Chains A and B, each alone.
Chain A
Amino acid sequence: MKLSYALFLGCVVPAREPSYELSVRKVFRELGFNLVDLKGATCCAPIPVESLSFKTSLAIAAYNLCLAEEADLNLMTICNGCFQVLSRANMSLKKDEKLRTDVNDVLVEVGKEFKGARNVRDYLQVIYSDLGLEKIRGSVSKSLKGLKVATFYGCHILKPSSVLMFDDPERPHILDDLVDATGAKSVPYLHKMRCCGGLLRGISDDLARKLARDKLFSVSQAQVDCIVTVCPFCFLQLDLGQLEVSRRFNEPYKIPILHYPELLGLAMGMTPDELGLHTHRIPTEPMLNKIE
């Protein structure tokens, strides 16, 4: 039987990173999942909203959780921000009756009621736990052997770990294992767990750039072929942001950035064109040539 999930796209992915969405859809179909688009879903109301009104963020997150409950499906996120916000809302509302009453009091305005009947999972958890590494290895038709990869988890897939319970927050391994399963090799690099600075964009562009620059610098020291990301904010910071960092700091970085499903798609035999890799700002050809 096909495993079904309600696909929660969020804001950034469909608007800015269509190739990521494309790879998720193609890879999951190929792996035998049935992803159902969640009709009427809104923005998850992440930290920019949470910073101004926790109550509003919680209510909007709960609204989206209700959509998954109505579809009778668990919800699958493909963005760290959505994963963190929706998981936290789901957990707090399931646990705290007073909070649930307050939020349902808001949701009644839109004819919804949070029941706490469904779970939120990130897509990495889905392929890691539902399928497992063996099956991922089995799906690889074109091994990426010889490719050296710097993995970058981002923050909100791991932390706060007491809520997300995804992996060890300081020494995670899931993404590294998944990269290794494609035949590529995840290599260590300095300050691997340090934040990309994405959320400081617009608040202090200077600090956001410096954090991205530090990340690119430490990765460049490890002589890898690409960085593999999970979160669309990290991707923006390192892909589009790389052009800006190179210009501002006069350090010409050319490190291809791939989302994990794009890497897995290549290993499953999909072509770069099929995966829309030409839409990335940093050309992926140098790493593609290596696996040709």
Chain B
Amino acid sequence: MSEKEGVEVKIREPLRTSDLDRSFPEEVVKHPGGEKLYLCYQCGSCAGGCPVGKITDSYRPRQIIRMALLGLRDEVLSSDSIWLCASCYTCQERCPQGVDIADLMLAIRNMAADKGYAPKTLVEQASSLIENGRIVEISDLTERRRYTLGLPSVSPISVEAVKKIVAKTAFDKLLEKLRGK
């Protein structure tokens, strides 16, 4: 790492072809949203319009795509960066190559979750979905407020149906694994 006029310049170690896992991009393109990964020509329109990129150096969609194309599997999947996409879809609208960038991030997140990586908040929200059928719970206070406003009480959710669906997709097992981490 060197310093130039107070700006920190990060120089990474040279990559060795032996570190690259060529099967990684091949797997990404098989996930919904990842299909057009190979079309990226690194123009940077995604990073240029990214609202998160404007306020932090920690998220650069172009960089993640490049790393995925190179086959830096572990580095991509274990990175905190992939969870910083705000899913605003600005990049996806503007990509001149039609890469579904925001969806690509979701595909990479799915692969990361399979490897046991996911932010605690998302795991908690998803767990609430399984327990209650909804991510945001209805509290007694909410019910009282609704009553005061003259709203009907919230109609019951078929939690059983949700439980059966997540058992079939093995999502309950995935969450168990992620909670155990």
A residues whose Cβ falls under 8 Å from a Cβ of B? 9, 11-12, 14-16, 18-19, 21-22, 25, 37, 39-43, 45-56, 59-60, 63, 92, 106-107, 109-110, 155-156, 158-161, 169-170, 193-195, 197-204, 207, 210-211, 214, 276, 279
Are A43 and B84 in touch, CB under 8 angstroms? no
Indicate whether A210 sits within 8 Å of B121 (C-beta atoms), given known contacts A52-B174, A53-B110: no
> Shortest 10 CB-CB distances between A and B: which pairs?
A202-B121, A159-B89, A195-B88, A11-B136, A56-B171, A155-B88, A11-B134, A51-B109, A15-B136, A43-B134
Q: How large is the interface on B (under 10, 10 to 19, 20 to 34, 35 or more residues)?
A: 35 or more
Indicate whether A15 sits within 8 Å of B138 (C-beta atoms), given known contacts A22-B151, A159-B90: yes
By beta carbon, the residue of chain B nearest A170 is B93
Q: Which of B2-10, B14-22, B61-69, B152-160 contacts A (4 or more CB under 8 A)?
A: B152-160
Instruction: Given A48-B122, A203-B122, output 4 extra A-B contacts at Cβ < 8 Å.
Output: A55-B171, A56-B169, A59-B165, A155-B90
> In angstroms, how far is the closest chain B Cβ from the Cβ of A214?
7
User: How many Å lie between the Cα of A63 and that of B51 in the bound state?
Assistant: 33
Chain A CB within 8 A of B11 CB: no
Residues of A within 8 A of B154 (CB): 9, 14-15
A40, A43, A52 — most chain B CB neighbours (10 Å): A52
Indicate whether A194 sits within 8 Å of B83 (C-beta atoms), given known contacts A14-B146, A39-B155, A56-B171: no
Indicate whether A207 sits within 8 Å of B157 (C-beta atoms), given known contacts A53-B174, A54-B110, A56-B171: no
Indicate whether A203 sits within 8 Å of B121 (C-beta atoms), given known contacts A15-B137, A54-B31: yes
A selection of 6 A-B contacts at a CB cut-off of 8 Å is: A11-B134, A15-B139, A42-B134, A45-B129, A52-B110, A106-B169
